Structure 1
Amino acid sequence: MRILVIKHGALGDVVRTSFILESLHEKFGSETEIWWLTSDAAFDLLRYHPYISKLVLASQLTSGKVAWVKEQRFDWVISLDDEPEACEILQDLEYDRLSGAYHDGTKMCYTDDVAPWFDMGLISRLGKETADRLKRENTKTHAQIFAEMLDIPYPRPSFYNNHLIERNVHRKYFADQNKFRVGVNLQAGSRWQSKALRMEEAIELIRQLRHQADEVLILGGIADFEKNRKLYLPFSEDERVVFIQPGQLLYFAAVIKYLNMIVSADSLALHLAIAQGVRNVSFYAPTSAAEIETFGTGVKVLSTSADYCSYRPDVDNSSITAARILEAIEELMGARV
């Protein structure tokens, strides 16, 4: 059995989608070949996955460097991106079965078997209004939806990193294993501003956590650097607060792996924490909390505003407060940190 998965982004989606790989192997046997076509940005998140037989970059295909991929025949192509560029490869491939998105020459479409997922998305054949309503009404997690529509065993979380990177990160930040460390990933890049915790609440959260944890680590990507720098300034003289400079994805993943707990927006950091079994508190305003499967590792804080889960970048997130997050931490830990 040779399967091709097409999934370029977003990065957090790539991580949680990779959970299906073990399930595909479990269903079709150890001889199953799984190829994955992805973006340059997501490559490191998949490069050490033992269930990926071949990892191919879309940029290599467009440049002709791996033209031999187009000479392969696949038993099943699972196409999970809704951008036309991601689906262009399909016109050059030979395959027996397609599940997912494709371009019919005039518009983006998707196969009936993946309607439970794509009906709620940007290319929904039902229209944006219905898609948004279905998203708000949905109670199934990403893992449950994918298990049902692909007819595979329920996915289990996993992430595979480079052991040398993990060892170096552990030596640099986590040598003292007696310390209780909480990571805070409170920003959300530039696209989904309302995913982030408001600055005054973020400062208050760290102010409280620094008295309860041995160390508070401020985390984020390159796009979050300036906001995180401002967040760190009130605590720059406090050795209990550590500003982790943004770096490579695998370095970021390794830092998260060794945390005792993380507080995170709906972002890559959250999915990396879930994948590595790190306890987590997550908060949601524009996006769906129901869709996130924490596999028993986390507690969620939901916006109480009327525009919750409206998938607008400017929703009202004022009901996500430091106080509510601290209450969720208590619930998660069974007591104060």
Structure 2
Amino acid sequence: MNILVIKLGAAGDIIRTTAILPGLKQKYPGSSIDWVTQSSYHEIIQGNPFIRKVFFIDKDKEKLASSFYNLIISCDDDLGACNLASQVPHDYLIGAYAHGKKPVYTPNAAAWFDNGLISRHGLRKANVLKRKNEKTYQELWYNIIGIPYAKQEPQLILAKKDTLYAQGFARKNNFNGKSYIVGFNPGSSTRWWDKRMSVGDTVKLGWEIRDRYPDSKVILLGGPEEIERNKIIKKRLPFLIDSGVNNSLGQFASIINLCQTVITSDSLAMHMAIALKKKVVVFFAPTSHKEIEIYDRGYKVLPVRGCVGCYRKECRIKPIYDIDAMAKLI
């Protein structure tokens, strides 16, 4: 039994989608599973013990076109991914594919794709359905594939070079076996602007953490889109240990792996922390908290005022959080 999983991005979505792999091995013992993604995401998928071979859509289309799979699971609504799903020879397909120049999806995958950009109902109804959804992403895909869901975990394998990088970072900042290390990721990408915590609330929460846990070491996490924002935060919270914003995906994951607890937005840092089995305190606003599986290791925090699951780039009512209550969860 040869299976091909198509999941091109984004990085956090790739990580959470790996949770289907243990179930596939359970349902199809002895099967071989290959994965297609983008070459820029190789660090978060290579080394996975459930995967035989990783292909890159930007390099391996010809190889894939001459391959054959008994089952293709196509998890992306991107037209390039859908075209690939249609072009690779196969017996059976679950998920999105191309019909002419249009992305469509198999009826058994409606529980996920009805809620997204290629929904047969249109985007407005899709957002309504997404807000009504009560199941996590992992549970939805297990139901789609036809495997009993038992909170099977995602996987994120750290390369030795990245683990060594994180060990060097720990030595440089005087971490020891007794250090309680908290990762603090208040930002996010700009796709959903109000996923990120305001700078004001970030500073309040930072000082609450400092006051409650004076012996902790708090690492400021972030990515390239947060250069100026993190400079402001670091200036106002001088005790933070800045991990930088230009780490590779593997380096970023290895720094998160140093932490006991990660406070984060619904972002890549969250998906990495969950896959690395960290305690998480995740705050939500425009995106669905119900869709996120945290495996009973932490807390989901909703704003006391503001949008929840509005799916707008910018919330009409800016989220405000109970900072004192959030700090107590750490």
Normalising to structure 2: TM-score of the pair? 0.92
- 3-state DSSP class of the match of 2:293? coil
Give CA deviations for 1:208-257 in whole Å, capped at 9, x if unaligned: 21233321110011122221121111233x3xx10111301111111111
- 3-state DSSP class of the match of 1:56? strand
Distance 2:166 2:242 in 1: 14
Larger mean CA deviation between 46-55 and 36-45 belongs to 36-45
Distance 1:182 1:74 in 2: 44
Contact 1:283 1:320 in 2 (8 A): no
Q: Which residue of 2 aligns with 1:327?
A: 325
Q: Which residue of 2 aligns with 1:288?
A: 288
- Given residue 54 of structure 2, which amino acid in structure 1 is its aligned partner? L
Q: Which residue of 2 aligns with 1:112?
A: 107
1:72 paired residue among 60, 67, 71: 67
- 3-state DSSP class of the match of 1:85? helix
Contact 2:159 2:250 in 1 (8 A): yes
Using the TM superposition, give the Cα deviation of residue 305 of structure 1 relative to its aligned residue in structure 2, in angstroms.
4.9
Distance 1:317 1:305 in 2: 8
- Given residue 173 of structure 1, which amino acid in structure 2 is its aligned partner? A
Contact 2:208 2:327 in 1 (8 A): no
- 3-state DSSP class of the match of 2:205? helix
- 3-state DSSP class of the match of 2:39? coil
- 3-state DSSP class of the match of 1:165? helix
Identity of aligned residues (%): 32
- 3-state DSSP class of the match of 1:293? coil
Contact 1:303 1:317 in 2 (8 A): no
Contact 2:6 2:85 in 1 (8 A): no
Q: Which residue of 2 aligns with 1:170?
A: 167
Matches within 5 A, 1:119-130: 119-130=114-125
Q: Which residue of 1 aligns with 2:15?
A: 15
Using the TM superposition, give the Cα deviation of residue 282 of structure 1 relative to its aligned residue in structure 2, in angstroms.
0.6
Q: Are 1:87 and 2:86 counterparts?
A: no
Superposition CA RMSD, Å: 1.7
Contact 1:300 1:328 in 2 (8 A): no
Between Structure 1 and Structure 2, how many residues are aligned?
322
Q: Are 1:140 and 2:135 counterparts?
A: yes
Matches within 5 A, 1:1-337: 1-29=1-29, 31-61=30-60, 67-154=62-149, 155-173=152-170, 175-213=175-213, 214-236=216-238, 238=239, 241-246=240-245, 247-305=247-305, 307-316=307-316, 318-321=318-321, 324-330=322-328, 332=329
Using the TM superposition, give the Cα deviation of residue 90 of structure 1 relative to its aligned residue in structure 2, in angstroms.
2.8
Using the TM superposition, give the Cα deviation of residue 168 of structure 1 relative to its aligned residue in structure 2, in angstroms.
3.4
- 3-state DSSP class of the match of 1:208? helix
Normalising to structure 1: TM-score of the pair? 0.90
- 3-state DSSP class of the match of 1:97? strand
Give CA deviations for 1:265-289 in whole Å, capped at 9, x if unaligned: 0001001111111111111111000
* Pair 1:71–1:272, CA change in 2 (3 A): same
- Given residue 326 of structure 2, which amino acid in structure 1 is its aligned partner? A
Using the TM superposition, give the Cα deviation of residue 172 of structure 1 relative to its aligned residue in structure 2, in angstroms.
2.5
Contact 2:137 2:291 in 1 (8 A): yes
- Given residue 275 of structure 2, which amino acid in structure 1 is its aligned partner? A
List runs of 5+ in structure 1 lacking aligned partners: none
* Pair 1:21–1:81, CA change in 2 (3 A): same
Contact 1:159 1:275 in 2 (8 A): yes
* Pair 1:224–1:157, CA change in 2 (3 A): same
Using the TM superposition, give the Cα deviation of residue 317 of structure 1 relative to its aligned residue in structure 2, in angstroms.
5.8
* Pair 1:319–1:125, CA change in 2 (3 A): same
- 3-state DSSP class of the match of 2:60? helix
List runs of 5+ in structure 2 lacking aligned partners: none
Larger mean CA deviation between 309-318 and 286-295 belongs to 309-318
Distance 1:69 1:319 in 2: 45
- Given residue 55 of structure 2, which amino acid in structure 1 is its aligned partner? V
